[in-house]
Amino acid sequence: MKLVIRILLILVLLVLGIGFYLKFNEYPKADMIVGIGVLFFAFVLMPLFLYQRYRNKKLTDYTLNKEKIDQMIDNLNS
């Protein structure tokens, strides 16, 4: 999974680089190429990264509830 994400990241950066290069040279479709790169990054690469990163984590450790708020208040008072 990490290898797939790295390959996709390289491809997205390559597409963005080509898009900006073409935009610099005033190619009419350059904005569309940059937009496709950004959309691919936002809707494909980022969710894959987040899924891979938090796949085996307990998300309850990262949520804020009454017990953790009380614990923070106790730590501040002591």
pTM value is: 0.73
Give the model confidence (pLDDT) of 13-54 as tens digits: 999 999 999 999 999 999 999 999 999 999 999 999 999 988
Where in the sequence is the domain holding 56, given as residue range(s)? 2-77
Distance, CA of 20 to CA of 16 (rounded, Å):
6
Number of domains in the chain: 1
| Distance between start and end Cα atoms, the chain | 45
Helix axes of 2-24 and 46-53: crossing angle, nearest 10 degrees:
150
pLDDT band of residue 7 (cuts 50, 70, 90) is very high
* Residues 27, 38 contacting (CB under 8 angstroms): no
Question: What DSSP string runs through 35-54?
Answer: HHHHHHIIIIIHHHHHHHHS
Q: Is the confidence at residue 77, as pLDDT, over 90?
A: no
